A and B are shown apart, each in its own frame.
Chain A
Amino acid sequence: MSATILRLWWIGAVAAVLLALPAIVRVGAPGMSNYLLNNYGIGSLVWVAFALSYDLSVGHAGTVTLAHPAFFGIGAYTAAVLSTGTHAPFLAAVVVAVVLAGAAALVVGALFFRLSDVFFAIGTLGVAFMANIVAVNWQSVTKGALCITQIPHPQGAADLTGRYYLILAIAAVTALVYVALTRGRVGRALAAVRGDEGLAQTFGANPFVYKMLAFVTGAMLAALVGVFQAHHISVVCPDTLGTFYTLNLLIIVFLGGVGTMRGVVLGAVLFTIIPELARFAQVLAQLVYGVVLLVVVLYAPDGVEGVLQRALHRRRGPVSIWGRETAGDPAEPKT
């Protein structure tokens, strides 16, 4: 079976399971179906879409931005303000939020892409703090610490199953955009800019354009997820833009495998499932979670994707993640 057919088979199988998930949990665990669909199904897909949008910048453009939750927050607050104030439909909120987040990302990128990596990270951290401060203090719009509540569920997706399919569609769109930007000519250019920006320039590539493309697209996708989240949980608070989310995103992409779609998806799913499972351990929950992260960092620095790649490597020849040589590669100089 060729690699393409095998890949299509896998994609089809995963899509079938995801589409059938509401029915599976209703039949398999009737008493817990809402809990499972909400906490595991929707919860995982929110993080999958959010983390994929983040990985465009961090994993592919090589720019560690700490402002990503600010764009998620722009989406969530736009949806909250429009739907509670003007009763705007979900799609209108999506359009406005995505445009606002894109414009904000253009400004942030134009200001900070001229800085070196570390200062770019610190600059974007400042943006995240500023966004949080605005959300807390601009009370006439955001209601500050009181939060915006009673945000209606999206029209046509008022029940949990409907919202599950809506976030599934959003995650699918995010995955398609992710693939479009990380394969072919743009993917090659991003790999080159991340790998050696100076060299990329000597081949005529303008690194600023490619970094900005990944950053702005990621911000717009994050806003899309933010709009969904506001309509899903019906409340938006200033901590939506907090740096706590940044930490979660970093954990997901590095736990799963930075710069790899499968790794980020697995990271997001594990990130959702592990704390839920560890919850039964009550006080030990955070400890269990911490131990899992430590084990990954110490024994699988390429993340879960690295472990998978090494396992597949035995059957399929040399592989690498971010240019690291894997076991048994032919990397020794032979000149």
Chain B
Amino acid sequence: MNAAPARRASSSADIALDIRGLSKRFLGVQAVGGVDLRVRSGELVGLIGPNGSGKTTLMNCITGIMRADRGEVLIKGLRTSGWPAYRIARLRVGRIFQVVRVIPTLTVEDNLLFAVQDLQGDPLWARVLHLPATRRLDAEARGRAEECLSLVGLQDRRRQPAWSLSYGQRKLLAFASTLMADPDLLLLDEPMAAVNPAVIEHLARLIRTFHAAGRTVVIIEHNMKVIFDLCPRLVVLDRGAKIADGPAEDVRRDRAVIDAYFGTQRDARS
């Protein structure tokens, strides 16, 4: 993996992600209600909560997939609320979706080349004309793709169309695609869902390596063993609100968190 890019010295740049009073409502359902969250550069934060607690909606609002009703998002000090997803991605914000998503008709290698090409800065007309400068950028990206494929163990499948991969392999391809851009901030939505223990172990190793290189990671996950192993800090959402935020060991014993997952004594009596 490449060395971490130089970090900005300003204090705002030390905060990788700053969410202030973010709210999102779907018709009558308050999916996220006034959530504040601040993630420092280089942190690895677990975002947990029962199903329907607003975790994915929050991530969608951060990455521009959805527009928040209220509140604001700052990424590396820039106010990104209202930006389209592609513009946020150009800030080197990587995202992996809950349901694995790859470009099915492209080969494994082309998936990786596509993942970085719009961040390389060559103009559209140069691409249309297939100019040598553009081909040089593609060659550079191929080198990086080789590195990423080796990391996830898919180097023997580079010429295979993505649709022909198994589900676990697609997860690994999605992860490798996200690594291609060498993102400063990586948002992972249930990366371990529906894959076997070997792939879980592999992905957990990759996340640790990525984080050890100085990157910021926010991970949504229902696999509690994985989340407690990986994340020193946990944030818990319930019914769209933040109910806990702190060191993993403290959150594990938090009464509100236990109630959210297992129900309150009052719920049990009724």
Contact = CB atoms under 8 A, between A and B. Distances in A.
- Residue among A201, A323, A331 with most chain B CB within 10 A: A201
Contacts of B130: 180, 183-184
B177 A203 contact: yes
Interface residues of B, number: 47
A194 B113 CA distance: 17
Interface in A310-335: 318, 320, 322-323, 325, 329-335
A191 B128 contact: no
Contacts of B199: 335
A325 B164 contact: yes
B127 interface: yes
A217 to B, nearest CB: 9
A204 interface: yes
Contacts of A204: 86, 89-90, 118-119, 181
A331 B164 contact: yes
A188 B181 contact: no
Interface stretch (B20-28, B69-77, B101-109, B148-156): B101-109
A320 B89 contact: no
Nearest to B194: A335
A335 B195 contact: yes
A205 interface: yes
Nearest to B162: A323
Contacts of B160: 318
A334 B85 contact: no
A303 to B, nearest CB: 15
A198 B103 contact: no
A320 B164 contact: yes
B128 A320 contact: no
A323 B128 contact: no
- Residue among B86, B94, B95, B199 with most chain A CB within 10 A: B86
Nearest to B141: A185
Contacts of A181: 128
B128 A186 contact: yes
Interface string B107-143: 0001001111111001010011110001100100000
B167 interface: yes
Given A184-B134, A185-B134, A206-B86, A191 B166 contact: no
B105 A322 contact: yes
B97 interface: yes
B84 interface: yes
Interface in A183-218: 183-186, 188-189, 191-192, 194-196, 198-207, 209, 213
B187 to A, nearest CB: 9
Given A189-B117, A189-B118, A335-B166, A203 B89 contact: yes
B114 A203 contact: yes
A318 B195 contact: no
B142 to A, nearest CB: 12
Contacts of A183: 130
B184 to A, nearest CB: 14
A128 B240 CA distance: 47
Nearest to A186: B127
A330 B64 CA distance: 35
A188 B107 CA distance: 10
Given A196-B101, A196-B103, A189 B114 contact: yes
B178 to A, nearest CB: 8
B89 A201 contact: yes
B5 to A, nearest CB: 16
B168 interface: yes
B12 interface: no
A110 B102 CA distance: 28
Contacts of B129: 180
A213 to B, nearest CB: 7
Contact of A334 (B90, B161, B163, B169): B169
A186 B196 CA distance: 36
Contacts of A213: 124, 128
B81 interface: no
B101 to A, nearest CB: 5
A325 B167 CA distance: 15
A181 B129 CA distance: 9
B105 A185 contact: no
B104 A201 contact: no
A246 B134 CA distance: 36
A185 B138 contact: yes
A202 B95 contact: yes
Given A196-B101, A199-B97, A204-B86, A188 B106 contact: yes
Contacts of B114: 188-189, 191-192, 200, 203, 205
Interface of A: 180-181, 183-186, 188-189, 191-192, 194-196, 198-207, 209, 213, 318, 320, 322-323, 325, 329-335
8 closest A-B pairs (Cβ-Cβ)?
Answer: A335-B168, A204-B118, A323-B104, A201-B85, A334-B166, A204-B89, A185-B127, A201-B86
11 contacts: A189-B114, A191-B114, A192-B114, A202-B94, A203-B177, A206-B118, A209-B124, A213-B128, A323-B161, A331-B163, A335-B168
Interface of B: 63-65, 84-86, 89-90, 94-95, 97, 101-106, 110, 113-119, 122, 124, 127-130, 134-135, 138, 160-161, 163-164, 166-169, 177, 181, 195-196, 199
